[in-house]
Amino acid sequence: MKPLRKAVLPVAGLGTRVLPATKSIPKEMLPIVDRPAVQYVVDEAREAGIEHIVFVTGRAKSAIEDYFDRAFELETILRGKGKQDVLDALAKVLPEPGTMSFVRQQAPLGLGHAIWCARDIIGDEPFAVLLPDVLIQGKPGCLRQMVEVYEDKGGNIIAVDEVPREDVGQYGVIDPKTQDGRIIEMRGMVEKPDIEDAPSNLKITGRYILQPEVLGLLENQETGAGGEVQLTDAMARLMKSQPFFALQYEGADFDCGNRLGYLRAITHYALKHETLGERARMMFEEALK
């Protein structure tokens, strides 16, 4: 079994559900308390042992690349002012040289197409996919929990979670066969089903560990839900020839791609913040009076 070293973060999406906030900044750079959303996802990947991150970007997304680079002018000014604590905070989020790649998805053809755009950098290795719209609070992080299952079982692993029945049409949904604790074997999966056709209320949450063969399937994947090339459809095909497991992870997920989900993420992360949490709680209580 090849070790899991690489992760793909698809960040080409336009963020239309949070406009106008995202008109001139990528949605992945919206702050959650004191860090951009993408930082939480990169931290989750690093905690799970990921060494190299491939961002699939698009036009108007260069702020993400700049965020993970040195900022010499800023650093010079901060040094001149003796702001060592801020410099230390900046140094902490700087990746090791050569541990991030950026490829462009030139047209919005779907999540499956975005992942396929990373194929040359992924090569012949298993890889993780983390959708940066989705933040997951978990201890250990969701991908770390998945890696533990992967090291035991191999194959492909996706994170799933229950959603209210009326929401299944917004997600990829699995068709469960058998369950052993938190690990589920599946018959199949379907992207954005009609409520009456949904095989369960277990949604695919946006964390995946996949074998490289899925990239070959994406190469000739027909368009599916929404007229887009869907990762779910390629995984459903891969499932016929490889072991595939779903993990009901422990933790809470927040969809920052919509306004209420974003707000929910901010309140939860503020309350859990190591230095601001207590004062945030007092502020929320005050605001509710």
Q: What are phi and psi of 93, to 5 degrees?
A: -95, 0
Nearest to 245, CA basis, from 168, 148, 166: 148
Residues 6+ apart with CB under 8 A from 103: 54, 55, 56, 57, 117, 118, 120, 121
Closest distance to ligand G1P from the beta carbon of 172 (Å)? 2
**Contacts (CB under 6 A) with ligand G1P, residues 124-143:** 131, 134
Report the distance separating Cα 31 and Cα 47, nearest Å: 21
Report the distance separating Cα 238 and Cα 204, nearest Å: 16
In the chain, count H helices and then E strands: 11, 13
Q: Which stretch binds ligand G1P (CB under 6 A): 51-59, 139-147, 229-237, 262-270?
A: 229-237
Kindly tell me which residue out of 6, 203, 218, 254 binds ligand G1P, with binding defined by CB under 6 A: 203
Q: How many residues does the chain have?
A: 289
* Closest residue by beta carbon to ligand G1P: 172
Closest distance to ligand G1P from the beta carbon of 219 (Å)? 18
Cα distances (Å, whole numbers) of residue 118 to 17, 142, 143, 276, 283: 25, 22, 19, 38, 43
Kindly tell me which residue out of 58, 206, 224, 261 binds ligand G1P, with binding defined by CB under 6 A: 206
> Does 218 interact with ligand G1P (rule: CB under 6 A)?
no
State the amino acid at position 262 in one-letter form: Y
Q: Which stretch binds ligand G1P (CB under 6 A): 49-57, 117-125, 227-235, 260-268?
A: 227-235
Closest distance to ligand G1P from the beta carbon of 192 (Å)? 7
Look-up of token digits 């492909």: 156
Closest distance to ligand G1P from the beta carbon of 243 (Å)? 20
The footprint of ligand G1P on this chain (CB under 6 A) covers a number of residues equal to 14
Q: What are phi and psi of 252, to 5 degrees?
A: -120, 140
Closest distance to ligand G1P from the beta carbon of 114 (Å)? 9
Kindly tell me which residue out of 143, 204, 256, 266 binds ligand G1P, with binding defined by CB under 6 A: 204
DSSP lists the bridge partners of residue 186 as 176
Kindly tell me which residue out of 156, 201, 211, 232 binds ligand G1P, with binding defined by CB under 6 A: 232
Kindly tell me which residue out of 111, 146, 174, 214 binds ligand G1P, with binding defined by CB under 6 A: 111
Neighbours of 63 (CB within 10 A): 15
Pick between residue 175 and residue 191 the one whose CB is nearest to ligand G1P: 191
Q: Which stretch binds ligand G1P (CB under 6 A): 211-219, 230-238, 266-274, 275-283?
A: 230-238
Residues interacting with ligand G1P, by CB under 6 A?
111, 131, 134, 171-172, 191, 203-206, 230-232, 255
